[in-house]
A = this chain, B = another copy of it.
């Protein structure tokens, strides 16, 4: 009946696969997309396999062989540089987490050592981060006061670090690293800017020398808390802080202008600490409203494994805190590792990194450390100082250990306001105004995700911002599937392809035939919509044709090129559409269904329902098949009649 169409190549159904094999392939694609064991599998000798396996788990075995003196020189320089940043930052962030300052130093000793053995990044510098520290304080502080019950608070911090590490390791072992991808680029920009704002606001406490402060992190509560205490603001503290807040950004600016002078901004925090401490020491400023760190314990990390709290009601709090801070730390660490790997053109295995982060946090929680990851600032300094391998982390750890053993008394006079200034200066770089503007320009929805993350963090809590941005991002994915675009296609003159007539206004449509392109998968979430929308396109087209008194509509070609998958609701929808069209005396024609579609459609006998000849490889072929019938069959001719039973039977 439609012989011309038969000359074209047929649309094929891919060869059937046994269920278990296709399940295995699917799971492989979801969980082992990067084929991590490819090399090991291809190796025949067992001893070699074990060696490759060990190297896979401990990347140090990979790079330690080729290690040489040149590398060591670079690593020692960068290691010492990051140590000079790590010490003041560690103390500052520990204060942000309402933990004893010494914990910041402990956390720069054990975790970097673990990472050096298991991590696969060459540039990542391990340490604590501001946002996770603040989040720990906010979440634990809601139920346990760090002031009234410091011991329990401390132990809960270790426990939540343990859970964070455990979760990170499990995610890595279960190959669920992709879950971290739920934090989109846009969400992270907004979230970071919000967190930076909140952290800066928190620092006003140190800057103004206040001793009481709200536990909330939102801008309204913080500002209210600050202005209600205006009588006890200490101008001395504020003035000193402003000096450092002036000094630190200038060093950053210099380093940015001249990348060779990276060490100026890297050293600036330590220099600030030294100057601040000397200032207090010589002027006895501690008696004039400048708060100081005071005594720090000497000695390296004491064990804390016995302090982990696994009894209710606190274990759930620690678990929740651990999971949320752990995911956040993971997202930051992996993003940082990936960025630098891209610069140097090597690969990072996300799942392997997770296991490394997890192990360093588990061991950290056993040795008085709290949550660590790969902070951006420290890693950037490490990279700029031309580190070569993870040995720079070891050097940093040794430098911190030396400090812990011999130099802690030097920090007695360090003013808190210097630490606040260091944090504020570090945070300013996290508010990426330009990136947000770029989002607005490129993709309004991404900007909206970014904005809601920011506002959620600033006016709500960090968790609200996080949930909001993830929720909206996921909603977008669902919306994409729930409301796929359908557009009319037209022929681009003198060429074969048919394209969207909105994108190519010069493309010409045909009378009697409407070609609809569905731009997404056909799933339960959109099948009702698609059915209604196809109906509306046809109504509109018929209305138009009636007005212009042209030929009436006869064929609906559905271009399924972009329909990646279909489920049973989708198949039912196609069958319904076919029935509805049949009643309206229209013929449904299918163009270019993909492999997955053909597999399912042929199982459902859909090709037999609409007639196998009405499924074509390209839109052009479908059109010419329709044209053939239209022009050989005059109205009421036998040809026309012979076409009818086909869709009256269904």
Residues on A lying within 8 angstroms of B by beta carbon are 8-9, 12-15, 19, 23, 29-30, 33-35, 178, 181-187, 338, 342, 345, 347, 350, 438-439, 441-446, 473-474, 476-485, 487, 492-493, 495-497, 499-500, 502-505, 519-521, 523-529, 532-533, 535-536, 561-569, 571-572, 576, 579-580, 583, 592, 594-596, 598, 600, 603-604, 617-618
- Give complex CA distance A307, B497 in Å: 67
A483 close to B576 (CB less than 8 A): no
B569 close to A186 (CB less than 8 A): yes
Please indicate the chain B residues that have their CB under 8 angstroms from the CB of A23 in the complex: 444
B571 close to A499 (CB less than 8 A): no
Please indicate the chain B residues that have their CB under 8 angstroms from the CB of A603 in the complex: 441-442
Please indicate the chain B residues that have their CB under 8 angstroms from the CB of A596 in the complex: 485
B536 close to A34 (CB less than 8 A): yes
B503 close to A12 (CB less than 8 A): yes
Can you show 18 pairs from A to B with CB atoms below 8 A apart? A14-B500, A30-B479, A33-B532, A178-B528, A182-B524, A182-B525, A185-B569, A186-B567, A345-B583, A441-B603, A442-B603, A476-B567, A484-B564, A496-B496, A497-B618, A503-B594, A503-B598, A561-B561
B567 close to A600 (CB less than 8 A): no
- Give complex CA distance A403, B133 in Å: 70
Other than the known A33-B532, A480-B481, A485-B564, what 18 A-B pairs have Cβ atoms closer than 8 Å?
A8-B495, A9-B495, A14-B502, A33-B536, A34-B532, A182-B525, A186-B524, A338-B528, A347-B535, A438-B568, A443-B568, A446-B568, A478-B478, A497-B617, A503-B598, A519-B564, A519-B594, A520-B564
Identify which of B184, B478, B568, B595 contacts A503 (C-beta below 8 A): B595
A12 close to B477 (CB less than 8 A): no
Please indicate the chain B residues that have their CB under 8 angstroms from the CB of A481 in the complex: 477, 480-481
**Chain B nearest CB, measured from A556 CB (Å):** 17
- Give complex CA distance A363, B389 in Å: 73
B474 close to A478 (CB less than 8 A): yes
Residue in chain B with minimal CB distance to A526: B181
**Chain B nearest CB, measured from A465 CB (Å):** 17
**Chain B nearest CB, measured from A645 CB (Å):** 19
